Amino acid sequence: MLRKEDFEPNMETEDKIPGAQPENPAQSQRFGDFIVKYMQNVQDTMELFPGTSFQAINEIFGVLYVPLENMGELEVTGTSYNSIPKCYTYMDMEATGASGITRLHDHPYLKLRGKGTAVAVIDSGIDYQNAVFRNAGGSRIAYLWDQSLEDEEGMGKDKEQNESGRELESENGDVGNLLENGADMADTEVPYGKLFRKKDIDLALASEDPFSIVPSRDTNGHGTALSGIAAGNMVPGENFTGAAPEATLIIIKVKPAKQYLRNFYLYPPDAEVFQENDVMMAIAYAISWAKKLEMPLSICLGIGSSQGAHLGTNALSQYVDYVANFSQVSVSAAAGNEGNTRNHSTGIFSQGREQIVTELRVAEREQGFTMEFWGEPPEIYGLSIQSPTGEILEVSSSIGSRTQELSFVFVETKVYVNYILIERQTGYSLVYIRFFHPASGIWKIFTRGKNRQNVQFHMWLPVEGLISQDTYFLEPSPYTTVTAPGDARNSITTTAYQHRDGSIYIAAGRGYTPDGMITPHLAAPGVNVKVPLVRGGFGTRSGTSISAAQTAGIAALLFEWAIIRDNQPFFTGSGVKYYLQRGARREENMQYPNPEWGYGKVNLYHTFELLT
C-alpha cells in the first residue's frame, strides 16, 4: 500500500481560484501522479488522501492523482520508487535501401507498403499539414491525441464529433469501409487533452486557418521526423520514402512533465521531458484505436530514460513487455544515445578488493542533478561521499529508506540520500542521491562491500540534455547504457549505424543489461538520415530514435505480409523481432549477438529471402 510519508512535492501549490472550472488532475499542477497496479490497495490510498482520483491505463496499471497540498515531501522509498513516474526525453532514401525496404516496396509479388496496418508514433506530435502525411483521400492520420491541450481548446465533445471517425477513409477506402461496417468511435474519448480524428484533420486541411480547427502543433519537429521515417509518403523528387508509406497513422503528442516532478528530479528549466504514466496511457489508447480500425499496430517509442536499474523493471518497460506479447502489436524502442556521454560507471567486487573509488567531475554552475547507485545482491554496500575540498561524509545503511541530509562544512552543497537495501522490483540495493548546488570539481564516491562477494554495481547519471555535458564520470563505461524502455524483454530495441560506411553510431547506447539480457536487438540506419521538417521541406537527423522509427515501419510491413495477407494471422511483436533477428545482416568476422550490434543490421529483404 502507498503510504502518506512516501510522497513529498518539492514545490509550492497555487492558491485555488474561486469559481474556476474543475481541473483535470492529469493536467493540473496541483496533483501528483503515482503509477500503481490494481493489486495494490488503491481504495485505502484514496481514503488516506482526500481529493485523490484514479485513472485506469489497462487491466494491470493505473494512475493515482493525489492533491499535492495533502502530501508531505516527495521521497524515494522502497514502496514509492516505482510509483513515482520516471521522466523520458528524446533519443535523437538511402537509409531505407540499406534496410532492404525499398526492394520490397517495388517487388513484383510482395509490394509491401504497409497497407491495412497502423503505425503509432508517441512523441512531440506531428505537422499534420505536411504533404508526406496526406494522400488523395486527405490525411493519413486516423487519430491525433494532443495530451497537452486543455479540454476547452479545439473542438467540443458533442456526439456528432465523437462519431466523426465513421467517415474516416483512405485513398483506397479501406479504412472508411471498416468504420462503415460497425466500428463505433463514440466510446474512445480521451481522459485528458484533446482528440482529433481524420474528419477533423481533413476539415482543418481544407480551411484557411487550420489551427482554428485542429490546434495541435509539433513545436519540436521530433515527432514529425519519426512519423516520416516510419510511414511518410514516397517523394521521388527528394529520394525519400517512409518505411510503410501506405500505413495509417495514429499520433499521440505527450504532454510535458509536471513541475513538481521536474523540481524533484532537478531538471534544467528548458529540458523537454515526459512522464512515464502519460506514455503508458498513450500506448493503451493507441492499441484501442487500432482495434477499432481492425488493424495490426506497430508502435514507435523514440524516447528514453536512464532512471531505474536497467533491468526492464520500470513501469513503462513492464507495460511494453506486456503489450508486445499481444497478437498484432509490436513496440519499437530506441537504444538511447548514452554510449559516449560518460554518464555511467561500474565496479566489480572480488575477494581481494575491499573498496572502489568512483570519481565524478561536476561542472561549473551545475545547479543540481540526481544519481542512482544499483548494487547486485546479495552484497550489502557501504558508501561515503567526498567533496572537492576533501571532506568525507558517510551514507547510513541502517536507518531504512528515510531521506538522509549530508551537509558539508566547506562547500554549500547539500546531498540528499535514500538508501533502499532491497528494492522490491529488482532485489538490488538502491542508493538514490540528489545533489543541490554542487560545488564544481572532483567528487569521489567510496563503495565498500561488507561481504566482498563477486558482484557488480552500477551508477547512472541522467541522460544527455538533463545534466551538463561537463558533469561526468572520469572512468566511465559505455556498456550497459541502453535506456528504458529499450531494456524491455519483448520490445524491438534498435541501435543506430551510419548506412553510408556501415559504422556504428558513436553515441549509441550499448548492452547488455546488468543481468545479461541481450539488448539492443538490432541495428538500423540512424546517422544523418533524411527526414521531413515542420512546415515542409527536408533535413537530416541522427540518433537511435530515427532507427526505432524505421524499425517501426518495417514491423508494419511484416504485419501486412503476416496478418493482412493471412500468412501468420496471430503474429505478435515478439514474432516480428524474431523474424528480423533471423534476417539481420552479420559480418563474418564478428560474433553475434554482441553489445553494440545485437543480432546485426536489420534487412527485411533478407528476412524474406530466408522465408523462401
Q: Average of pLDDT values for 282-298?
A: 97
Are the CB atoms for 458 and 486 separated by under 8 Å? Answer: no
Look at 238-242, 309-313, 343-347, 369-373 and tell me which has the smallest mean pLDDT: 238-242
Identify the pLDDT of residue 109: 64
Q: Average of pLDDT values for 433-452?
A: 93
Look at 311-320, 394-403, 423-432 and tell me which has the smallest mean pLDDT: 394-403
What is the C-alpha separation between 295 and 287, in angstroms, rounded?
10
CA separation, residue 1 to residues 42, 64, 174, 431 (Å): 7, 12, 48, 22
What are the pLDDT digits (tens) for 493-550? 999 999 989 999 999 999 999 999 999 999 999 999 999 999 999 999 999 999 999 9
Identify the pLDDT of residue 176: 39
What 8-state DSSP symbol labels residue 381? E
Identify the pLDDT of residue 49: 74
The set of residues, in sequence order, having a beta carbon less than 8 Å from that of 446 and lying 6+ positions away, is 355, 356, 357, 383, 384, 385, 386, 392
C-alpha cell at 156: 467540443
Identify the pLDDT of residue 367: 93
Identify the pLDDT of residue 188: 55
Question: Is the torsion defined by CA of 7, 12, 15, 16 positive or negative?
Answer: negative
At residue 278, the 3 state secondary structure works out as: helix
Q: Average of pLDDT values for 277-297?
A: 97
Identify the pLDDT of residue 611: 77
Tell me: pLDDT of 41 over 90: no
Identify the pLDDT of residue 21: 58
What are the pLDDT digits (tens) for 217-230? 999 999 999 999 99
The confidence band for 177, taking pLDDT boundaries of 50, 70 and 90, is very low
The set of residues, in sequence order, having a beta carbon less than 8 Å from that of 145 and lying 6+ positions away, is 190, 193, 194, 195, 196, 251, 252, 253, 282, 285
Identify the pLDDT of residue 202: 98
Tell me: pLDDT of 158 over 90: no
| Angle subtended at Cα 346 by Cα 343 and Cα 348, rounded to the nearest 5 degrees | 175
Q: Average of pLDDT values for 139-159?
A: 74
The confidence band for 399, taking pLDDT boundaries of 50, 70 and 90, is confident
Identify the pLDDT of residue 44: 63
Q: Average of pLDDT values for 266-280?
A: 96
Q: What are phi and psi of 117, to 5 degrees?
A: -115, 165
The residue among 269, 226, 233 whose CA lies nearest residue 124 is 226
The set of residues, in sequence order, having a beta carbon less than 8 Å from that of 201 and lying 6+ positions away, is 128, 138, 139, 141, 144, 214
Tell me: pLDDT of 162 over 80: no
Look at 149-153, 190-194, 240-244, 269-273 and tell me which has the smallest mean pLDDT: 149-153
Identify the pLDDT of residue 97: 55
Instruction: Please give the mean pLDDT across all residues of the chain.
Output: 87
Strands (E), 421-549: 429-436, 441-449, 456-460, 472-473, 492-497, 522-525, 529-532, 538-541
Identify the pLDDT of residue 99: 66
The confidence band for 23, taking pLDDT boundaries of 50, 70 and 90, is confident
Q: Average of pLDDT values for 44-54?
A: 76
Tell me: pLDDT of 134 over 50: yes
Look at 8-22, 110-124, 275-289, 555-569 and tell me which has the smallest mean pLDDT: 8-22
Q: Other CB atoms closer than 10 Å to residue 55's CB: what's the count?
A: 16
What is the C-alpha separation between 203 and 446, in angstroms, rounded?
62
Identify the pLDDT of residue 569: 87
Tell me: pLDDT of 17 over 60: no
pTM of the model: 0.89
Tell me: pLDDT of 18 over 60: no
Percentage of residues of the chain with pLDDT beyond 90: 73
Look at 75-79, 94-98, 155-159, 579-583 and tell me which has the smallest mean pLDDT: 155-159
Look at 110-124, 162-176, 559-573 and tell me which has the smallest mean pLDDT: 162-176
Tell me: pLDDT of 387 over 90: yes
Q: Find residue 395's DSSP bridge partners.
A: 383
